Amino acid sequence: MTPKLYIAYYRVSTDKQGERGLGIQAQRDAVTRFIERQEGAVLYACFTEVESGTKKGNRPGLADALALVRKVKGTLLIAKLDRLARNVRFIATLMEENPDFIALDFPESQPVILHVMASFAEHEARVIAARTSAAIQARLKDPDYRNSKGARWGNPQCLNPKYKSLSKSEAAAARRKDAVDFAKKLEPIIKFYLQDR
């Protein structure tokens, strides 16, 4: 019996997840369980990448994994579809290239189901980005916020001559007001670029 070759692709979104192994081990465990259940299956290679699933460009680990899949006529294994990408266009392009791949959370799925699930993954990525942005904005509004090292955001030195004659608290208030005014000027521009077209 000719062995069936599988190439695993693992992805986490952040360096912290990569350093701590968060998410990677769960993906490895899912792949291992799948391989153990398949008669004649060989885990030929594994690729791990720390990269956002929403990025459309630089995915060298995935490119290498797909190249190897084609070279050895193997099958790409991913633990969850959202580990492959959180972008419908990316999934659609990949499906057009037609490499053999299995998303272990939907092993028997048809292309239409994969498109629907990719849509959900893309939506989830947008929701996560919105929550993260809202949390950052809330923190930025708190003038007493300190980062994990205890430092306040921003430069504590008043380098702008416009504020030199003011007391420290007056200068801080003036800088905050100027920052808010500047943000109000930028708001319509940012909204324009963030709206779906």
Name the residue ranges covered by the structural domains of the chain: 4-121, 155-197
* Euclidean distance between CA atoms 8 and 66, whole angstroms: 10
Indicate the pTM of the whole model.
Answer: 0.57
Return phi, psi of residue 101, to 5°: -145, 155
pLDDT digits (tens, 9 = 90+) for 27-38: 999 999 999 999
**In the chain, pLDDT over 90 holds for what percent of residues?**
21
* Euclidean distance between CA atoms 158 and 163, whole angstroms: 7
CATH number of 4-121: 3.40.50.1390
For residue 162, give the amino acid letter. Answer: K
Listed ranges 51-60, 84-93, 150-159; the one with the highest mean pLDDT = 84-93
How many other C-beta atoms can be found within 10 angstroms of the C-beta atom of residue 114? 20
pLDDT digits (tens, 9 = 90+) for 142-194: 766 666 666 666 665 666 778 778 887 888 888 888 888 888 888 888 877 77
